């Protein structure tokens, strides 16, 4: 006798939701064979019932209120692709897991804010909570950490977690364009949102890093433990100076254990050309994880888009159809232990420092005196040709120093009348990282 289908209620019929419907139609036989039973959408919900979405919806029941999907008798499992940390997505997630039904979501914002609550609820009711699509789109990094690397203590997990930022930085480098010009073009072409702040200010990458940290270190997802800084202040000159030093500029999210605390940050960084992250260009994402037995793992692929994200959503559906179980964040929710946040005082490294200063004698001496007084020594200093506006760029690379010392020096430099705009400080990664 043929196995009964896994009946799916799908909330959100935008980029990812429509992609899921397309994938399930195109690969129905293969998905059924691998899942051990057909996977069939039975009911859907979105805001506008009449919007054309390029997919046939007539065969599905429609719910104006997505929450009702959770209690329908013909829905075994809910896929939430609405988005947003709170609001209808969270109401639906609570209703679904509360009803003891599995939930698949791509919603990193919701999980970064409410992951512990939802994982706890899932375990209480015995329902699966899966979110492969929430981090790095199509890349199976959640499965990789949750299952493949489950036997390891992870020292560090980091990577390029936002495709929009990587696309912008790559195009700045390849085409010699300034940040604002690439952003405007990316928006015109639909690669960047009309309000791009979540992406370019590092918020989206911080959401994903919070989820990776939870998986890697057995902590509850906690955004307050992650310092984030985006790429708005990176100029073409920084990209070119980095290249001259043998580095590429990338927005990197890094989470690591420092003693008994957790250091998490999203920051534009100089990545050495020999590092695997340096060759990750365009909208791709990449995640590196370091385990005590497995060593360094590298995951690379498409971090967004209808096809890759739908691929990750349906992989979760197949896993649930197969009966795969286990805690959402690998460690049971009740055993997720918060770690104190490591601040800049516990971090050290080499730093790239760029300043725009008045092009007059004595300024350089003032800057180097501040660094000396802050206990920061300079490994290299470059002064590219001055601008026509009477200012000049000064680019320095520090020796290894405490981040607090470098930051304190930057604050003092910014207060000098000769410093024309806030200095930019970026950490340098090493090839060992």
Ligand X SMILES: NC(=O)c1ccc[n+]([C@@H]2O[C@H](COP(=O)([O-])OP(=O)(O)OC[C@H]3O[C@@H](n4cnc5c(N)ncnc54)[C@H](OP(=O)(O)O)[C@@H]3O)[C@@H](O)[C@H]2O)c1
Does 48 participate in binding ligand X (rule CB under 6 A)? yes
Residue 305 Cβ, how far from ligand X at the closest point, in Å? 5
Which stretch, 44-52, 112-120, 122-130, 228-236, contacts ligand X (CB under 6 A)?
A: 44-52
Which stretch, 120-128, 304-312, 346-354, 361-369, contacts ligand X (CB under 6 A)?
A: 304-312
Residue nearer to ligand X on the CB measure, 52 or 224 = 52
Helix (H, G, I), strand (E, B) or coil at 154: strand
Residue 304 Cβ, how far from ligand X at the closest point, in Å? 3
Q: Which of residues 403-432 bind ligand X (CB under 6 A)?
A: none
Q: Are 359 and 390 in contact (CB under 8 A)?
A: yes
What is d(CA 1, CA 399) in angstroms, rounded to the nearest whole number?
Answer: 69
Task: Pick left, alpha or beta for residue 166 (phi over 0 → left; psi -120 to 50 → alpha; otherwise beta).
Answer: alpha
With CB under 6 A as the contact rule, the residue among 35, 43, 82, 157 that binds ligand X is 82
With CB under 6 A as the contact rule, the residue among 13, 165, 394, 410 that binds ligand X is 13
CA distances from 382 to 186, 274, 424 (A): 32, 23, 15
**Residue-wise burial string across 138-163, b where 16 or more C-beta atoms lie within 10 A, e elsewhere:** bbbbbbbbbebbeebebebbbbbbbb
Which residue's CB comes closest to ligand X? Answer: 14
Residue nearer to ligand X on the CB measure, 62 or 153 = 62
Does 9 participate in binding ligand X (rule CB under 6 A)? no
Residue nearer to ligand X on the CB measure, 29 or 195 = 195
Q: How many CB atoms neighbour CB 176 within 10 A?
A: 11
Q: How many CB atoms neighbour CB 242 within 10 A?
A: 27
With CB under 6 A as the contact rule, the residue among 9, 38, 115, 137 that binds ligand X is 137
Does 15 participate in binding ligand X (rule CB under 6 A)? yes
With CB under 6 A as the contact rule, the residue among 21, 69, 95, 106 that binds ligand X is 106
Convert residues 344-383 into a mask of x (bound to ligand X by CB under 6 A) and - (unbound).
----------------------------------------
* Structure token digits, residue 3: 């196995």
Which stretch, 79-87, 209-217, 289-297, 324-332, contacts ligand X (CB under 6 A)?
A: 79-87
What is d(CA 382, CA 84) in angstroms, rounded to the nearest whole number?
Answer: 44
Residue nearer to ligand X on the CB measure, 105 or 241 = 105
What is d(CA 214, CA 111) in angstroms, rounded to the nearest whole number?
Answer: 11
Q: Which of residues 176-195 bind ligand X (CB under 6 A)?
A: none
Is 208 noted as a catalytic residue in this protein? yes
Catalytic pick from 101, 108, 208, 225?
A: 208
Give the alpha-carbon dihedral of 196, 277, 254, 270, to 10 degrees.
-80
Does 44 participate in binding ligand X (rule CB under 6 A)? no
With CB under 6 A as the contact rule, the residue among 83, 264, 283, 423 that binds ligand X is 83
Does 311 participate in binding ligand X (rule CB under 6 A)? no
Q: Which of residues 240-269 bind ligand X (CB under 6 A)?
A: none
Residue nearer to ligand X on the CB measure, 65 or 400 = 65
Does 162 participate in binding ligand X (rule CB under 6 A)? no
DSSP state letters, 384-400: PPPPTTSEEEEEEEEPS
Does 66 participate in binding ligand X (rule CB under 6 A)? yes
DSSP state letters, 98-152: HTT--EEE--HHHHHHHHHHHHHHHHHHT--EE-GGGTTTTSTHHHIIIIITTTS
Residue nearer to ligand X on the CB measure, 63 or 256 = 63
What is d(CA 142, CA 136) in angstroms, rounded to the nearest whole number?
Answer: 9
Q: Are 93 and 103 in contact (CB under 8 A)?
A: yes
Helix axes 236-245, 163-175, angle to 10 degrees: 80
With CB under 6 A as the contact rule, the residue among 170, 219, 241, 309 that binds ligand X is 309
Enzyme catalytic residues: 208
Q: Which positions touch ligand X (CB under 6 A)?
A: 11-17, 45-48, 51, 66, 81-83, 88, 106-108, 133, 137, 304-305, 309
């Amino acid at each position: 006798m043929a196995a009964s289908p896994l009946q799916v209620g799908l909330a959100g019929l935008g980029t990812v939701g429509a992609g899921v419907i397309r994938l399930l139609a195109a690969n129905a036989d293969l998905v059924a064979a691998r899942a051990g039973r057909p996977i069939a959408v039975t009911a859907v919900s979105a805001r506008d019932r009449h919007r054309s979405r390029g997919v046939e919806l007539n065969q599905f029941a429609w719910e104006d209120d997505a929450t009702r999907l959770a209690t329908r008798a013909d829905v075994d499992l809910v896929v939430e692709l609405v988005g947003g940390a709170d609001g209808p997505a969270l109401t639906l997630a609570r209703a679904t897991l509360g009803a003891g039904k599995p939930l698949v979501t791509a919603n990193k914002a919701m999980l970064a804010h409410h992951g512990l609550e939802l994982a706890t609820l899932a375990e209480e009711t015995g329902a699966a909570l899966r979110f492969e699509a929430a981090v790095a789109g199509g890349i199976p990094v959640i499965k990789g950490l949750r299952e493949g690397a489950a036997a390891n203590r992870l020292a560090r997990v980091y990577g390029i977690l936002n495709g929009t930022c990587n696309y912008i930085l790559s195009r700045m480098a390849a085409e010699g364009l300034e940040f604002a010009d690439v952003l405007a073009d990316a928006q015109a072409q639909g690669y960047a949102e009309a309000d791009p702040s979540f992406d370019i200010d590092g918020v989206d990458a911080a959401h994903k890093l919070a989820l990776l940290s939870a998986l890697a270190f057995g902590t509850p997802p906690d955004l307050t433990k992650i310092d984030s800084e985006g790429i708005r202040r990176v100029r073409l000159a920084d990209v070119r100076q980095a290249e001259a030093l043998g580095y590429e500029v990338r927005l990197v999210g890094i989470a690591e254990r420092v003693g008994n605390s957790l250091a998490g940050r999203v920051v534009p960084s100089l990545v050495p050309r020999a590092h695997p992250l340096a060759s990750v260009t365009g909208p791709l994402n990449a995640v590196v994880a370091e385990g005590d037995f497995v060593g360094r793992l590298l995951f690379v692929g498409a971090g967004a888009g209808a096809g890759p994200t739908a691929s990750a959503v349906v992989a979760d559906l197949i896993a649930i159809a197969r009966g795969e179980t286990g805690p959402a964040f690998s460690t049971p929710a009740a055993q997720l232990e918060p770690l104190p946040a490591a601040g800049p005082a516990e971090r050290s490294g080499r730093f790239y420092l760029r300043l725009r200063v008045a092009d007059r004698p004595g300024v350089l001496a003032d800057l180097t005196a501040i660094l000396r007084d802050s206990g920061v020594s300079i490994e290299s200093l470059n002064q590219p040709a001055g601008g026509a506006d009477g200012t000049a760029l000064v680019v320095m690379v520090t020796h290894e120093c405490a981040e607090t010392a470098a930051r304190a020096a930057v604050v003092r430099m910014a207060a000098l009348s000769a410093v024309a705009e806030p200095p930019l400080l970026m950490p340098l990664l090493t090839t060992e990282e």
